[in-house]
């Protein structure tokens, strides 16, 4: 049954391709729920990826070394971004773009200087968790996944709980919706925004680290290939809600893991058309998400992109 | 002395402009203390200092007789000071309970929600009104949102409650309800500050009144010993003549509205067969309890609300029910919308730009892409002078910084320039001080005398009765009665509620 095998293989590839999108979008949601418009994902993915590979090569080729390194590196860059937009109140779009360009340059430079380019690592190994491993062998291609894939659901559940079922989340969202209200309720708007950006950056860094140590298993410049931008679009599609972002990420995972399989199946489609599809789908999805609605109806956080200064009148 | 809050010689400047210039204020336990003053007198600024939101440049704050430094709202709350702001500080997509919990943490989230819901029920019970803690804030009326603010402040343990123009957005009945509640709280020892422009409330509900002008304290006295004329004089400096409505000849028809229907997205009918006519040189007033279709009517007339059925004819523009706003404006429609900061002005743009935009559209300052900025600035300067817009530090200043009354004067200056065929004004004097209010009324009467047709939609019955030649009463999306001036206040009031 060739077609059946094709589908199992394809579906088995989906979680791994979807994971970076999902985590990156989740990180952006955390930041933007606090009112900080965040375009840094593409840069943070690169930083996470390089740090993951770098740690594997320089310290130990272990995922529990590589992934924390990726997270920490991205958090550092996130802190820089937060300082720019929250403390210095630099325009959030411009600062976001600047951080991306900075990260692109920096990672290429460091990757070359440290000679981390094109050195394969063993990276993350696949595993299959217990009840699933008892299923017939034919399905194993479906469930043989990286450990992080299994951690994805708990991560999403946890972030969802924190955002919507905890005081921290209530405050974080208040800061993003109505900073004046949060401020007069006695909350430190600045502190919450910095924390949200840094926490979100950690998730994006994890996504970047996974791309490198779980996916390509080596570093090359610009290896994230625009995934960060798609994550930015996913957030809008998901209306800043974690579960919808996971759904969107899976959708993209389906498309992306289909691409090489179509080529492998010998169906001739122009290569550039295939490379273009994720972006076409992005645009289509965005149009669909926003059909017939004004900006306010998209559930955008009320103060997204707007710095808060206590004594300033709007 | 039983003064619970004392502000002494408070100074505060914004970008070199002294909003507070040595202001004094003393509040005693168990009193309702009114704070009067013109737009821009510094009332909100002074109260924001007391609430810890503005850090004063100088002066002393004494709470319960001891000097305090308020580092922020949190410190003020800890000292028992709670403020309900002129523009509410609430989170729109949150529920009532979440909003209140945000300011008054009660441990873990889910437990906290339960606790706070119980406390809300207890508090509202005591105050004699209801708020459903599960409702989303943006589904509440303004009056209900205000109750949420009050409950929020009370549950924070406030013994000093500052209300910044709480009644500007309320109907007479709602205002009476609120102020009666405040009197009751005062009787239990709470100190209440009531910032307002309505003298009726001052004389009826306040134990003392402080009057501010130009960022300073002018007088503090017992309002019971003062006449309204005296209070007005203290507030604005001079006695104001009340505007007179002279007889004018009614001219040709300017506006015919027939069978107008507007439906909400939810399928609710907001306007249900509204029809009326307005002639040149006439003010047609629309009275009614707010929320009975007035906003939708104004939207339909100005072109911002889609019309489901019916006809709007305007002389000079023809049948406009489904034409875009630009066509209506070029046909001579002038609009003075209810929300001046959101709909009438671009807060981030300069005064010049805000004034000149209408002229730019009409090509008065040269062709597109080649604007005569000098002419624009000159016209704006002349308008600022002619309409007495105060608090303008420079024409390049952001319009959003103007206080309410002055922002409204700028809107009037723009909209009344030229010779509009039809003026649609919605709550034009809301939140304005006595002088600005008189200025607005004078301008509308002048437009009428000039032969413009005016539709005046207002919740303030006195305003409608004072200005309008004919009055339509709106209730549940219909005009249920029409009266000719001089109209009987009682009869109009009955018509407002009979069908509502
Ligand atoms: N945050 C601010 N930034 C700049 N200027 C301000 C700010 N707050 C107040 N002002 C200015 O200070 C002056 C006093 O303003 P304030 O809001 O205290 O007046 P008000 O008495 O409350 O008037 P209103 O009756 O219109 O509410 C105004 O000229 C206003 O433009
Ligand atoms: Mg004020």
Interface subset of A 168-187, CB within 8 angstroms of B: 169-171, 173-174, 177-178, 180-187
Ligand 2 midpoint to CA B341 (Å): 14
pLDDT at B224: 87
- pLDDT tens figures, B454-495: 999 998 888 899 899 999 999 888 999 999 888 888 888 888
Looking at the structure, do residues B51 and B95 belong to the same domain, yes or no? yes
Looking at the structure, do residues B128 and B277 belong to the same domain, yes or no? no
* pLDDT confidence band for B35 (50 / 70 / 90): very high
Contact B286, B471 (CB under 8 A): yes
Q: Using CA atoms, how far apart are residues A1 and B464, in angstroms rounded to an integer?
A: 81
Q: Does A184 sit within 8 Å of B83, measured CB to CB?
A: yes
Q: From the CB of residue A267, how many other CB atoms can be counted at a distance below 10 Å?
A: 9
CB of B122 closer than 6 A to ligand 1? no
* B108 in a structural domain: yes
Domains of chain A and any CATH numbers: 2-133+142-299 (1.10.3470)
pLDDT at B239: 63
Give buried/exposed letters for B63-83 (b at 16+ CB in 10 A, else e): beeeebebebbbbbbebbbbb
Report CA-CA distances (Å) from B278 to B141, B180, B282, B299, B419: 31, 40, 7, 17, 16
Q: Any idea which ligand is nearest the CA of B36?
A: 1
3-class SS of residue B223: helix
- Asked if the model's pLDDT at residue A201 lies above 90, the reply is yes
Looking at the structure, do residues B223 and B275 belong to the same domain, yes or no? no
pLDDT at A52: 95
**Average pLDDT for residues B172-183, to the nearest whole number?**
88
> Which range of residues forms the domain containing residue B231?
3-236
- pLDDT tens figures, B378-409: 999 999 998 888 878 888 888 888 877 788 88
Which of the listed residues B204, B236, B268 is the one where a domain comes to its end? B236
Q: Measured between CA atoms, how close is A274 to chain B, in angstroms?
A: 41
Which residues in B lie closer than 8 A to residue A173 (C-beta atoms)? 91, 94
Q: Using CA atoms, how far apart are residues A122 and A115, in angstroms rounded to an integer?
A: 17
Looking at the structure, do residues B215 and B361 belong to the same domain, yes or no? no
Looking at the structure, do residues B163 and B59 belong to the same domain, yes or no? yes
Strands of the sheet containing B81-84, edge to edge, are B81-84, B160-164, B191-195, B32-37, B208-213, B216-221
* B324 in a structural domain: yes
Closest-CA residue to A127 (of A204, A244, A58, A214): A214
* B336 in a structural domain: yes
Looking at the structure, do residues B31 and B140 belong to the same domain, yes or no? yes
Peptide bond into B486 cis (omega under 30): yes
Is the Cβ of A166 closer than 8 Å to some Cβ of chain B?
yes
Residue with tokens 């606090």: A34
Q: Using CA atoms, how far apart are residues B306 and B249, in angstroms rounded to an integer?
A: 34
3-class SS of residue B60: strand
Residue with the bigger pLDDT between B499 and A303: it is: A303
pLDDT at B99: 96
* pTM for this prediction: 0.84
- Helical (H) or strand (E) element with B396: none
Looking at the structure, do residues B330 and B193 belong to the same domain, yes or no? no
DSSP state of B243: P
Which of the listed residues B173, B205, B236 is the one where a domain comes to its end? B236
- pLDDT tens figures, B62-110: 999 899 999 899 999 999 999 999 889 999 999 999 999 999 999 999 9
Q: From the CB of residue B118, how many other CB atoms can be counted at a distance below 10 Å?
A: 12
Report CA-CA distances (Å) from B121 to A195, B32, B112, B142, B146: 35, 25, 14, 20, 16
Q: Does B89 sit within 8 Å of A302, measured CB to CB?
A: no
Closest-CA residue to B456 (of B467, B446, B442, B447): B467
Atom 25 of ligand 1, residue of closest alpha carbon:
B39
Provide the domain count of chain B. 2
Ligand 2 midpoint to CA A180 (Å): 16
Which residues in B lie closer than 8 A to residue A310 (C-beta atoms)? 53-54, 72
* B83 in a structural domain: yes
- The per-residue pLDDT of chain B, averaged, comes to 89
Atom 16 of ligand 1, residue of closest alpha carbon:
B42
* B243 in a structural domain: no
Residue among B40, B390, B393, B429 to mutate when testing ligand 1 (max atoms within 8 A of CB) = B40
* pLDDT confidence band for A1 (50 / 70 / 90): low
Q: Is the dihedral of CA B439, B440, B442, B446 positive or negative?
A: positive
Q: Using CA atoms, how far apart are residues A189 and A85, in angstroms rounded to an integer?
A: 13
First to last CA, chain A: 65
């Amino acid at each position: 049954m060739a077609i059946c095998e094709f589908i199992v293989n394809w579906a088995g590839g989906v979680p791994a391709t979807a994971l970076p999108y999902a985590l990156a979008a989740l990180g952006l949601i955390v930041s933007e729920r606090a009112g900080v418009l965040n375009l840094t994902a593409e840069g943070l993915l690169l930083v996470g990826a390089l740090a993951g590979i770098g740690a594997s090569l320089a310290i130990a080729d272990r995922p529990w070394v590589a992934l924390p390194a990726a997270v920490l590196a991205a958090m550092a860059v996130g802190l820089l971004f937060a300082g720019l937009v929250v403390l210095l109140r630099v325009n959030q779009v411009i600062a976001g773009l600047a951080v991306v360009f900075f990260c692109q340059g920096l990672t290429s430079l460091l990757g070359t200087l440290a000679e981390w380019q094109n050195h394969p690592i063993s990276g993350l190994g696949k595993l299959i968790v217990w009840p699933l491993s008892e299923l017939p062998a034919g399905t194993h291609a479906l469930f043989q996944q990286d450990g992080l894939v299994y951690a994805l659901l708990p991560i999403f559940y946890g972030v969802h709980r924190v955002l919507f079922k905890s005081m921290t989340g209530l405050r974080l969202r208040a800061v993003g919706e109505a900073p004046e209200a949060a401020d007069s309720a006695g909350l430190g708007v600045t502190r919450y925004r910095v924390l949200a950006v840094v926490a979100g950056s950690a998730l994006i860094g994890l996504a970047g680290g996974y791309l490198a140590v779980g996916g390509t298993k080596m570093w090359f410049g610009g290896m994230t290939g625009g995934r960060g931008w798609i994550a930015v679009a996913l957030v809008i599609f998901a209306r800043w809600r974690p579960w919808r972002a996971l759904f969107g990420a899976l959708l993209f995972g389906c498309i992306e893991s289909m691409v090489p399989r179509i080529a492998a199946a010998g169906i001739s489609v122009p290569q550039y058309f295939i490379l273009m599809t994720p972006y076409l789908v992005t645009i289509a999805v965005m149009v669909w998400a926003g059909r017939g609605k004004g900006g306010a109806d998209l559930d955008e956080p009320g103060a997204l992109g707007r710095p808060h200064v206590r004594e300033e009148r709007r | 002395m039983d003064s619970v809050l004392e502000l002494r010689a408070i100074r505060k400047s914004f970008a070199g402009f002294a909003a507070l210039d040595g202001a004094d204020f003393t509040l005693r336990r168990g009193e309702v203390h009114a704070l009067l003053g013109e737009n821009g007198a510094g009332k909100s600024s002074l109260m924001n200092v007391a609430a810890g939101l503005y850090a004063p440049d100088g002066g002393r704050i004494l709470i319960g007789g001891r000097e305090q430094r308020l580092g922020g709202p949190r410190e003020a709350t800890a000292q028992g000071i709670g403020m309900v702001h002129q523009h509410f500080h609430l989170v729109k997509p949150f529920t009532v309970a979440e909003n209140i919990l945000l300011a008054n943490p009660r441990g873990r989230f889910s437990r906290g929600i339960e606790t706070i819901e119980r406390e809300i029920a207890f508090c509202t019970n005591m105050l004699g009104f209801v708020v459903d803690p599960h409702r989303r804030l943006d589904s509440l009326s303004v009056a209900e949102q205000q109750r949420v603010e009050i409950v929020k402040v009370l549950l924070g343990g406030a013994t000093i409650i500052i209300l910044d123009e709480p009644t500007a957005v309320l109907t007479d009945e709602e205002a009476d309800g609120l102020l009666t509640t405040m009197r009751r709280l005062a009787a239990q020892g709470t100190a209440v500050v009531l910032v307002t422009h309505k003298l009726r409330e001052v004389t009826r509900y306040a134990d003392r009144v402080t009057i501010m002008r130009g960022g300073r304290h002018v007088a503090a006295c017992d309002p019971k010993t003062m006449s309204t004329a005296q209070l007005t004089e203290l507030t604005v400096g001079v006695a104001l003549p009340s505007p007179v409505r002279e007889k004018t000849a009614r001219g040709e028809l300017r506006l015919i509205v027939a069978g107008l229907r507007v439906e909400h997205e939810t399928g609710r009918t907001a306007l249900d067969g509204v029809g009326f006519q307005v002639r040149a040189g006439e003010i047609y007033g629309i009275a009614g309890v707010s929320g009975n279709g007035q906003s939708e009517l104004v939207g339909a007339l100005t072109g911002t609300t889609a019309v489901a059925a019916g006809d709007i004819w305007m002389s000079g523009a023809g049948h406009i029910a489904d034409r875009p706003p630009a066509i209506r404006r070029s046909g001579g429609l002038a609009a003075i919308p209810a929300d001046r900061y959101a709909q009438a002005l671009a807060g981030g743009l300069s005064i010049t730009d805000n004034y000149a935009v209408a002229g730019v559209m009409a090509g008065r300052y040269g062709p597109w892409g080649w604007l005569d900025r000098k002419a624009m600035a000159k016209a704006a300067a002349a308008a600022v002078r002619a309409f007495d817009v105060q608090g303008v530090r420079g024409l390049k200043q952001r319009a959003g910084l103007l206080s309410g009354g002055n922002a409204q004067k700028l809107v009037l200056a723009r909209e009344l320039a030229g010779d509009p065929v039809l003026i649609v004004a919605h709550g034009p004097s809301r939140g304005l001080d006595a002088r600005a209010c008189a200025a607005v009324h004078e301008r509308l009467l002048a437009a009428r005398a000039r032969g413009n047709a005016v539709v005046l939609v207002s919740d303030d019955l006195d305003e409608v009765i004072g200005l309008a030649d004919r009055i339509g009463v709106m209730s549940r999306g219909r005009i249920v009665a029409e009266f000719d001036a001089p109209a009987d206040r009682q009869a109009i009031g009955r018509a407002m509620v009979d069908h509502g």
